[in-house]
Amino acid sequence: MPAGTLYRGREGMWSWVAHRVTGVLIFFFLFAHVLDTSLVRVSPNAYNSVIATYKTWPVNLMEYGLTAAIVFHAFNGLRIIAVDFWAKGPKYQRQMLWTVVTLWVITMAGTFYPILRETLRTWFG
């Protein structure tokens, strides 16, 4: 194969993949949310039953994962806008990606206890 024709998969590729994966996860959450909310019109008891399952620790962990997906998708979306519309964006795209990752880690650390409070109480008393 000629030199320089094989994409080696650096940070830009992984941010592209992560952006698509988080977008799909958010889409499926919104789809499920519309379905479970529509249950209120069909059967309030069924709705209450579904909502009761949301108060379990596995679903609470999924909530934290959903928050992680939304936060990354939002920060990375802003980075993509900067790369597309700022003349120097492509030059600084790698630095902006690491800024996104840093902000994401800080934000997720800040949301850890507020979101997982009940699960932590269940596990550790």
Q: Which of 67, 57, 66 is nearest to 107 (CA)?
A: 67
Within a domain: residue 18?
A: yes
pLDDT at 39: 92
Q: Which domain holds residue 47?
A: 11-124
Query: What does the buried/exposed string (b/e) look like for 26-36 if buried means 16 or more CB atoms within 10 Å of the residue's CB?
Result: eeebeeeeeee
Within a domain: residue 83?
A: yes
**DSSP annotation string for 18-59:** HHHHHHHHHHHHHHHHHHHHHHHHH-HHHHHHHHHHTTSHHH
pLDDT at 26: 98
Question: What CATH code is carried by the domain that includes residue 88?
Answer: 1.20.1300
**pTM of the entire predicted model:** 0.86
Over 80: is that where the pLDDT of 6 sits? no
